[in-house]
Structure 1
Amino acid sequence: MAKAIMLQGTSSHVGKSILTTALCRIFKQDGLKVTPFKAQNMALNSYVTKTGGEMGRAQVAQAEAAGLDPAVEMNPVLLKPTGNSCSQVIVMGKPVGNMSAKEYHSGYSLTALGVVTECLEKLHKDFDSIVIEGAGSPAEVNLKANDIVNMRIAKLAGAPVLLIADIDRGGALASVVGTLELLDPDERDLVKGIIINKFRGDINLLKPALEFLETKTGKPVVGVVPHLDRLGIDDEDSVSLEDKQQTAKTGDLDIAVLRLPKISNFTDFDALANESDVTVRYVRQGEALGKPDLIIIPGSKNTTEDLLYLRNNGYEREIIKLVKNGTPIIGICGGYQMLGREVQDPEHTESDLDKVMGLGLIDSITIFEPEKVTHQVEATAINHSFLGINYSGTHLKGYEIHMGRTQFLSPVDVAFTINTRSGAKVTMSDGVVSLDGLVMGTYMHGIFDNDSYRRTVLDALRVRKGLAPLGVIRDTQALKDAAYNRLADVVRKNMDMDLVYRIMNESNGR
């Protein structure tokens, strides 16, 4: 039977996901067979497993840190916001429908608890330890009755809780004391320690506050973790895009990504941003697109409404003018659909709109269907002509998550040929490259995680700009692995891991 530990927070975005990732790597380094778990996740940043199931991206990073292939049992319930207080509900990797917040929290969530319990039972049997992540705050009294992600899960898993506060926001001590005060006595007893996260400054100046906190709450401070910039680890959701914008470096190449209201899977561009010669700008509402070396329209959870956002905010005119003047553009998934002539949603799969005119940069229409396509894929490129690079490569890896099917109205140059889908051999065309080589669309998320392809595209952009190609291919997976080790090293140095192990060992179990 596995020993569990649970990380909960005084609010959202206090660092639960990153610290869960850190503990997964530390336990792996210490020889434990460890798995992450989050019963219910709300995020637009999702991933597709080898079996074709969809799950939250944060648990994917945690699985990688633990040395595991991601599996939907690690995140059995995923909520993908669609707008108007409504979310697509995904259970065990498959969508079960769209629900309003009221419908989900007042009825369905407890129905999903049975699936969550089954997943926990399986993980307890298969692993030595489970690192469980909560969501938001356990003190949200209006949601507690139907909670399936915080204290109810701690009780089910027999997991002691470490409570995390973000000191960078201010008010960390009050948030800890207030959270504990709002918990029921049995829930308060489950909290065995406190973590102060995102600390900047001299730890000696903080010590009186830590002593006060321990005396006031009767809970030990397990660690004070410093603020960490540019971790190189996938982020959970678009709230972290603000941090990315603030820490963006200046490189030779300027890549502008449209920050759509319903942007999804922005981790597609992390590998680009990690290149030494690249600046990735997320262009927010009201900001100028400027004169980038490359425009990217990312994935979207609501393609039709995000298309209207581009139109109503003047970005459509700006994009078309730039492309006509020679600026290249890439659309990925929803962004690919927007490049066509029209997006149709006859069954209102994504929104109440029947159809929306596209940007007209490729000769295609996309029709939305109720059944979602979710596959890991492997593809080949033969004389791939984007930017005139004539790239040929095999074993290009990525994944598909989309409701729409794109149809071409005239012959086109195919971007990629998919050879395997969820492990099955296929021969399927994916995407398109315009005849002038300036416009590319693809359904393949993660295409830029393919190191050789990414560098080939970037070097072609450099040559267009009069710069010499770098030709340096960075190993994305090795860099990720090094990032997990760096994170684990920092957390080890700043947390009392002996105390963490004692807390886990002293737990009464389930």
Structure 2
Amino acid sequence: MGKLMIYGTTSSAGKSLLTTGLCRILANKGYKVAPFKSQNMSRNYYKLSDGKVIAAAQVLQAKAARIDLDPRLNPLVLVPQETNGSDIYFMGEKVAYMKAKEYFSYKKDLGPKIKEIFDDLKEDYDVVVIEGAGSPAEINLLENDFVNTGMAEIADCNCILVTDINRGGAFAHLYGTVKILNEKDAKRIKGFVINKFRGDKSLLDSGIEEIERLTGVSVLGVLDYGDYNLPDEDSLVDGKDERTFGNISEELLDSELNRLAKDMEESLDMDKIMELMGL
């Protein structure tokens, strides 16, 4: 069974997009693949036919993978409210409204449950592509973590770290993330992906050479700044018009997912990524 985790150096670095593209690439290759994100905080959620809830990002990834929607793909959904708290959904059903301190107390005992759900899911698929949340370098959140480094430990998998170069500071983010983690967690990071690049990629050559020397981690590819007609994946939309499943046809959605997969296959070292997955 193959598995791989996608970390980001920041929120909106490209974790969801990379996970989505990999799901479509693997589905096109004939693998039965599932996305998995143990916890997602997003205002963009989707109600399944039975009324249960998962985040819109995992709905998109499931469509990319061509699989049925399933609350196991996203066991925890936190829907922020204007009252400085969130509605908490576990396995698709609302548990409670909680403020941050209440939630951190509640989540202490969830690690074993997340492991059980992940172990159950992976039995049904050839590959699981796991998405982290925010950044694994948020060292104040590592205790009882089951979203980033804790999830990689649960899955016992290799990780790829993606960064958004459009915002600046990408090489510092890559270096800092690797160096702030403990040795065991840092060693799981087997590749970098640079996302949202504009211009001549040869201008990155010296930076790529140096970050590989400094960290011992290879850059597996550089993705162009792409504008795909796909539903918004997060509560942070960067000022774009909101795109939802309701206003994008299934035909257009499928076409855009294939375009994303094609662009990623042309830009990434897919042979190495498949190796990291154990395929």
State the TM-score bracket (shorter-chain normalisation). Answer: over 0.9
Equivalent residue letter for 1:209: G
Pairing 1:163-202 to 2, within 5 Å after superposition: 163-202=161-200
Instruction: Tell me the equivalent position of 1:472.
Output: none
1:98 aligns with 2:115: no
**2: CA distance, partners of 1:486 / 1:127:** 24
Equivalent residue letter for 2:63: E
The CA deviation at 1:196 is 0.5
Instruction: Tell me the equivalent position of 2:137.
Output: 139
Query: Is the contact made by 2:75 and 2:90 (CA closer than 8 Å) also made in structure 1?
Result: yes
Query: Is the contact made by 2:23 and 2:61 (CA closer than 8 Å) also made in structure 1?
Result: yes
The CA deviation at 1:241 is 4.9
Equivalent residue letter for 1:233: L
Q: Deviations over 1:194-233 (max 9, x none)?
A: 111111111111111101111110001011111101x111
- Over 4 Å off, 4+ runs: none
Instruction: Tell me the equivalent position of 1:235.
Output: 232
Q: Deviations over 1:478-502 (max 9, x none)?
A: 1100000000000000000000011
1:80 aligns with 2:75: no
Instruction: Tell me the equivalent position of 1:248.
Output: none
Q: Deviations over 1:11-60 (max 9, x none)?
A: 10001101100000000011110000000000010001223210100000
2:128 is aligned, of 107, 127, 130, to: 130
Secondary structure of the structure 2 residue equivalent to 1:127: coil
Instruction: Tell me the equivalent position of 2:41.
Output: 42
2:253 is aligned, of 480, 486, 491, to: 480
Secondary structure of the structure 2 residue equivalent to 1:196: strand
The TM-score with structure 2 as length reference comes to 0.96
Higher RCO, 1 vs 2 (CA within 8 Å, ≥6 residues apart): 2
Q: Please tell me the root mean square deviation across aligned C-alpha atoms, in Å.
A: 1.4
1:491 is aligned, of 261, 264, 272, to: 264
State the identity as a percent.
42
Q: Deviations over 1:77-106 (max 9, x none)?
A: 00011134311110000111011111112x
Secondary structure of the structure 1 residue equivalent to 2:143: helix
Instruction: Tell me the equivalent position of 1:155.
Output: 153
The CA deviation at 1:146 is 2.8
Secondary structure of the structure 1 residue equivalent to 2:237: helix
**2: CA distance, partners of 1:225 / 1:30:** 21
**2: CA distance, partners of 1:238 / 1:89:** 15
Secondary structure of the structure 2 residue equivalent to 1:240: coil
The TM-score with structure 1 as length reference comes to 0.53
Query: Is the contact made by 1:76 and 1:115 (CA closer than 8 Å) also made in structure 2?
Result: no
**2: CA distance, partners of 1:34 / 1:109:** 27
Q: Deviations over 1:153-211 (max 9, x none)?
A: 11111221000111000000000101111101100011011111111111111111101
Gapped regions of structure 2 (runs ≥ 5): none
Equivalent residue letter for 2:53: E
Higher helix share: 2
The CA deviation at 1:504 is 1.9
Secondary structure of the structure 1 residue equivalent to 2:46: strand
Gapped regions of structure 1 (runs ≥ 5): 246-265, 271-445, 450-475
**2: CA distance, partners of 1:493 / 1:143:** 36
Equivalent residue letter for 2:258: N
Pairing 1:431-470 to 2, within 5 Å after superposition: 446=246, 448=247
Query: Is the contact made by 2:8 and 2:15 (CA closer than 8 Å) also made in structure 1?
Result: yes
Query: Is the contact made by 2:161 and 2:191 (CA closer than 8 Å) also made in structure 1?
Result: yes
Secondary structure of the structure 2 residue equivalent to 1:126: coil
Query: Is the contact made by 2:111 and 2:144 (CA closer than 8 Å) also made in structure 1?
Result: no
Query: Is the contact made by 1:109 and 1:148 (CA closer than 8 Å) also made in structure 2?
Result: no
Equivalent residue letter for 1:30: K
Q: Greater CA radius of gyration, 1 or 2?
A: 1
**2: CA distance, partners of 1:146 / 1:103:** 14
Secondary structure of the structure 2 residue equivalent to 1:5: strand
Secondary structure of the structure 2 residue equivalent to 1:6: strand
**1: CA distance, partners of 2:231 / 2:257:** 11
Higher strand share: 1
